[in-house]
Amino acid sequence: GDATLTVAATQPNIDSIGTDGDTLSILGDTLQMINTTANTPKVNLTNQADDTTGPIMTFLNQRVDSSTQAGEDNDYLGTIKFSGYDDQGTPAAQNCASIYAQIHDATSGEESGELLLNVANHDGGVGTGLKLTGGSADNEIDVTVGLGTSSVTTLAGTLTMGSTAAINNSGVVQVVAQTVIDHDQ
């Protein structure tokens, strides 16, 4: 058959694409921006509506098999990765941190999500340091902080449980029945 050669024109100064109120769809597997200028490339989302709303970035995992399919427990909904290079002789790419969301429970009427913040932990492996889970009841969010029994969790300020300060910012344990419990007393 005949081969068709397509040559794309260079467009170094595109100021805008699309029209306000319309949707711009880009089909492709990867959208890549590469730049050698410091502190670039950037992605700026600006909302100019004179109201209390702001920009929105949505990650949507839509299972499609001729039509939209049901989501399932543990489906990944989106991931943001932070990567760099280590300092060995031939530097190797290393995932240093990530944020991702999953469906915790896809059951209709009991939908629950998970948000995980992860960092590389000493050996290059990435582990979860903060995990928020939608829980097993309405208006409940379970939180897991740290990874493993050697982790150190530091809280600045006062630790409050419910509406009561349990530990003040000096590390003194406080309880309702007794104002202060101090090891010196």
Return per-residue pLDDT of the chain as tens, 185 residues: 567 776 666 666 777 788 888 888 888 999 999 999 999 999 999 999 999 999 999 999 999 999 999 999 999 999 999 999 999 999 999 999 999 999 999 999 999 999 999 999 988 899 999 999 998 889 999 999 999 999 998 888 888 888 888 888 888 887 665 555 566 65
Q: Going by C-beta distance under 8 Å and a sequence separation of 6 or more, which residues neighbour residue 106?
A: 70, 71, 72, 73, 75
Pairing of strands 164-167, 76-85: unpaired
Neighbours of 112 (CB within 10 A): 20
Cα→Cα distances 111→102, 135, 137, Å: 11, 10, 10
Specify the pLDDT at position 5.
72
d(CA 140, CA 171): 28
Calpha distance 44→110 (Å, rounded): 35
Phi, psi of 37 (to 5 degrees): -85, 140
